[in-house]
Amino acid sequence: MANSVFGATGTSIFESMSRLATEVKSINLGQGFPENGLEPPELIEAAVRAVRDGAHQYPPMMGLPALRQAVADNSKRWLGLDVDWEREVLITSGATEALADAFLALLEPGDEIILLEPAYDSYPTIIRRAGAKPVRVRLDPPDWALQLDRLEAAITPRTKAIVLNTPMNPIGKVFSREELRGIADLLLRHDLIAICDEVYEHLVFDGRRHETLFAFPDVRDRVVRIGSAGKTFSVTGWKVGYVTADPKLLGPIAKAHQFVTFTTPPALQSAVAYGLNLPDSYFEGLRRDMTWRRDLLVDGLRGAGYSVGDVAATYFAVVATDGLPEFGDDFALARRLTREAGVTAIPISAFYDARDVHSHIRFCFAKSADTLQEAVSRLARWRETLRWKAAS
C-alpha cells in the first residue's frame, strides 16, 4: 500500500531511542535536543510578545521580511557573507524541510548525489523519494579526514550534487578551508551543486571558525546554505529553518516549499528574527556555555575510562565502542546502556546505509550540569560493575 521508499523505512533512530528512554526513564543523551531551560529567556519573551501582539494568518511564502533580513545580517556579521535577503533567503519549517525542498526541487529521477558518511538520516530517504540515488563516501575515524580522491572517484556523469554537513553530526567535525577549497574545485570541474547543511554553524569551539562554501566567490552560485534556529537558540521544537542561495537555485527550492508547507508560524519567525539580531555576546555566550558542558561530559567519561573523541563543534560527543566488552553491535550496546546504566545514546550505525559501522555511540551534551554529572556517574558505575562481574 505504501510508497516503496517510505514503506521500506523504519522509525528514525532518534525517535525510537527517545521512546525507549521515556519507557525506562533513563537520562536521554540520545536524540539531539537541549534540556528545557537552556533557551535564551529574551527569545521566549520575544515569542510571547509576537503571539500576543502579532499577526496570526499566513505570512508571506518566502518568510517574514524581518527574518529574511536578519538571516542575511547574521551571516554578514559572522561569516562576512553578502546576501541579498529579498532574492536569496527563504524561511522553512526547520532545516529538515529545507533539505527536503532542496532535494525535491533540484534532483531528477536517475541523478546521483554524494553523501559523506556518517550521514544524517533524513538525507537518503528524501533523496530516494525524489527518484535520485545517494552515493556514499566514507570519512574514517579517528580523524575523519576528507579524502578528496575518494570523493572524486565517486563522481560519475550522473552526479548532480554533493551534500556537505559542516559542522558535522554526529562526529563534530568542522571542515577546514582547504577541504572546502578541494570540494569547490570538484564542483567546478564536474559542474555540481553543493547542498550545505550548516545547522551547527554557531556551535564551534576552542576558537575555531565555521567556514562555508558559500563564501567562495567562484562557487557561490552553486551552493545551497541551510541553517536552523533550533540549534542556534536551543529551541529544536520550533522548527524554523532558513535557506540562502543564488536566485537560480532558490527559485525552484521556494516552489517546492510552497507545496510542502507553504509557510512557517509567524510568531516564531518574529522571535527568531529578534534572536538572530541579538548582540555578539549572545553567540559568544552560547559557544562558551556549550564548551563547558562538552568538557563536563567528555572529561567525565574519559575519567571513567571511556575513549571519547575530541569534539570541535556541534553538541555531540562520540565514544568508541571497541574498549567496551562485546555486546553485539553499537545498537545493542546503546539499548543495553539505556536499560542497565540508565543513560541513552545513539548508535553510529544509524548514520550508515549498510549499518555496518559499529565503532561509536553518540551522546548529546546540551544538558544541565546536574544531568551531565548524573549521566557520567551512572556510566562510571556501570563500567565498574562490569569490571567487578568480569573479575568475580
Footprint of ligand GLN on this chain (CB under 6 A)? 12, 14-15, 31-32, 169
Angle between helices 266-276 and 65-79 (to 10 degrees): 30
CA distances to 169, 257, 343, 364 from 382, in Å: 27, 47, 10, 19
Partner that binds at residue 92, options ligand PMP, ligand GLN, none, CB closer than 5 to 8 Å by kind: none
Any idea how long the chain is?
392
Minimum distance from residue 18 beta carbon to ligand PMP (Å): 13
Which residue is associated with the grid cell 556551535?
Answer: 203
Partner that binds at residue 342, options ligand PMP, ligand GLN, none, CB closer than 5 to 8 Å by kind: none
Partner that binds at residue 31, options ligand PMP, ligand GLN, none, CB closer than 5 to 8 Å by kind: ligand GLN
Q: Which is nearer to ligand GLN, 199 or 276 (CB)?
A: 199
Of the listed pieces 57-65, 94-102, 274-282, 336-344, which binds ligand PMP according to CB under 6 A? 94-102
Minimum distance from residue 364 beta carbon to ligand GLN (Å): 7
165: contact with ligand PMP by CB under 6 A: yes
DSSP string, 156-184: -TTEEEEEEESSBTTTTB---HHHHHHHH
Q: Which is nearer to ligand GLN, 125 or 307 (CB)?
A: 125
Minimum distance from residue 117 beta carbon to ligand PMP (Å): 13
Nearest to 234 by CA among 283, 197, 184: 283
228: contact with ligand PMP by CB under 6 A: yes
Give the three-class secondary structure for 135. Answer: strand
Minimum distance from residue 389 beta carbon to ligand PMP (Å): 36
Minimum distance from residue 343 beta carbon to ligand GLN (Å): 15
Q: Tell me the C-alpha distance between 168 and 383, whole Å.
A: 29
CA distances to 21, 323, 349, 380, 388 from 327, in Å: 19, 11, 15, 17, 17
27-46 binders of ligand PMP (CB under 6 A): 32
371: contact with ligand PMP by CB under 6 A: no
Minimum distance from residue 89 beta carbon to ligand GLN (Å): 22
Q: Tell me the C-alpha distance between 344 and 45, whole Å.
A: 32
Partner that binds at residue 241, options ligand GLN, ligand PMP, none, CB closer than 5 to 8 Å by kind: ligand PMP
120: contact with ligand PMP by CB under 6 A: yes
Q: Tell me the C-alpha distance between 176 and 172, whole Å.
A: 13
Minimum distance from residue 346 beta carbon to ligand GLN (Å): 6
Q: Which is nearer to ligand GLN, 31 or 344 (CB)?
A: 31
Run of H or E residues at 260: helix 247-260
Minimum distance from residue 257 beta carbon to ligand GLN (Å): 19
Give the three-class secondary structure for 348. Answer: helix
Q: Tell me the C-alpha distance between 205 and 323, whole Å.
A: 27
Partner that binds at residue 167, options ligand GLN, ligand PMP, none, CB closer than 5 to 8 Å by kind: none
Please count the CA atoms within 13 angstroms of the CA of 332 that sit on its side-chain side.
6
255-314 binders of ligand PMP (CB under 6 A): none
* Extended strands (E) in 182-330: 193-197, 223-228, 241-244, 316-320
Minimum distance from residue 351 beta carbon to ligand GLN (Å): 9
96: contact with ligand PMP by CB under 6 A: yes
* Extended strands (E) in the chain: 27-28, 89-92, 112-117, 133-138, 159-165, 193-197, 223-228, 241-244, 316-320, 343-344, 346-347, 360-364
243: contact with ligand PMP by CB under 6 A: no
Binder among 197, 201, 211, 330 for ligand PMP (CB under 6 A)? 197
CA distances to 140, 310, 318 from 143, in Å: 7, 9, 12
* Interface contacts to ligand PMP, rule CB under 6 A: 32, 94-96, 120, 165, 169, 197, 199, 228, 230, 236, 239, 241
